[in-house]
Amino acid sequence: MSLEDEIRQLKEERRAVLLAHNYQRPEVQDLADFVGDSLYLSRKAVEDDRPVIVFAGVRFMAETAKILNPNKTVLLPDLRAGCGLADSITAEQLRTWKEAHPGAVVVAYINTSAEVKAESDYCCTSSNAVKIVSQIPADREILFLPDMFLGDYVRRRTGRAMHLWVGDCPVHTKMRPEQVDHARIEHPGAPIVAHPECGCTSRVLESVDRILSTDGMLRFAEETRAPEVLVATEVGILHRMRRLNPTTRFLPLEPGAICPYMKETDLADIRDSLRLGRWVIDVPPATADRARRSLERMIAA
């Protein structure tokens, strides 16, 4: 039996749903029940009624699924699948920051640990950060964490004077303004779409055509009639973009933008995860209860 068939069979036997992020390996995306961005997968984790969730993504995503579904079993197939951005702030650091700004509203990007979410008022993803910040009363001070590029983008879109945590994603930081300039010369007329985590200065974001979450990029891919599109995010997204629209050439702005954490999970890990029931992601109930408030506010927004 092929590895793919083994996984399909085990999924049935265990009554498991396989969720995969847009940056996962192509063969993992192809087997998943649902593929999408962080917000979409959080919603699917709640809507699907199977008792086991296998999360082909990174740890904070599996933790989020567990917080939202305390009675389900959540499995992360490879424990090395962390996130450099989520590691840039600890709950202790956030508590110290909050003490310096009493009464401030804390908005945490979903790329954070469960402990950090428990210290936050709102969660957001790249697809709803602007909406969530816009809904906060204008007289409230805001602490936004941990991605300074996403924070700066939201600050400019909403006009809100937020305090930003100085964190970034090691993959998106690689995207430099000079690469955008170069791409404009090499591919004249080709639209450039970018994820709001892109660095290295916000000039990258100023000079691209569209700033979109990974699902936003997929919608753009379906609709565009441009012969070529340059894509400034992790290269895993190109798989679905090319499937959705085979007539447009989707090219990476930075071919080296490969998230090592997202690529940890392969089909053998997923098969073993289903077969052996590993690795179970648990969040202490007291932390989960506090973190759930900020996530539920995000999902309801």
- Name which position in 10, 24, 28, 38 contacts ligand 13P (CB under 6 A): 38
Which does residue 84 bind out of ligand 13P, ligand SF4, none, counting CB within 5 to 8 angstroms by kind?
Answer: ligand SF4
**One symbol per residue from 6 to 25: x for binding ligand 13P (CB under 6 A), - otherwise; what is it?**
----------------x---
Centroid of chain to Cα 114: 15
Q: Is 169 in the site for ligand 13P (CB under 6 A)?
A: yes
| Site size with ligand 13P, rule: CB under 6 A | 10
Q: How far is CA 64 from the centre of its chain?
A: 11
Give the nearest distance from C-beta 268 to ligand SF4 in angstroms.
Answer: 21
- Which of ligand 13P, ligand SF4, none interacts with 126 (beta carbon under 5 to 8 A by kind)? ligand 13P
How far apart are the C-alpha atoms of 288 and 12, rounded to whole Å?
29
User: By CB under 6 A, is residue 197 in contact with ligand 13P?
Assistant: yes
Does residue 212 bind ligand SF4 (CB under 6 A)?
A: no
* 243: CB partners within 8 A, 6+ apart: none
Determine the 3-state secondary structure of 147 from DSSP.
strand
Angstrom distance (rounded) from CA 269 to CA 279 = 10
What's phi and psi for 224, nearest 5 deg? Answer: -65, 145
213 binds, among ligand SF4, ligand 13P, none (CB under 5 to 8 A by kind): ligand 13P
Nearer to ligand 13P, 4 or 87 (CB): 87
Q: Which stretch binds ligand SF4 (CB under 6 A): 24-32, 79-87, 100-108, 178-186?
A: 79-87
Q: 147 forms bridges with which residues in the sheet?
A: 167
Counting other chains too, the contacts that 242-250 makes at CB distance below 8 Å and 24 or more residues apart are 244/218, 245/221, 248/221, 248/224, 250/221
Residues 215-254 touching ligand SF4, rule: CB under 6 A, are: 234
End-to-end Cα distance, the chain: 45
- Distance of closest approach, residue 147 Cβ to ligand SF4, in angstroms: 7
Rounded to the nearest whole angstrom, what is the least distance from the CB of residue 145 to ligand SF4 in the complex? Answer: 13
Residue from 89, 132, 259, 270 in contact with ligand SF4 (CB under 6 A):
259
Cβ(220)–Cβ(190) under 8 Å?
A: no
- Return d(Cα 114, Cα 296) in angstroms, integer: 14
Binding site for ligand 13P (CB under 6 A): 22, 37-38, 111, 125-126, 169, 197, 213-214
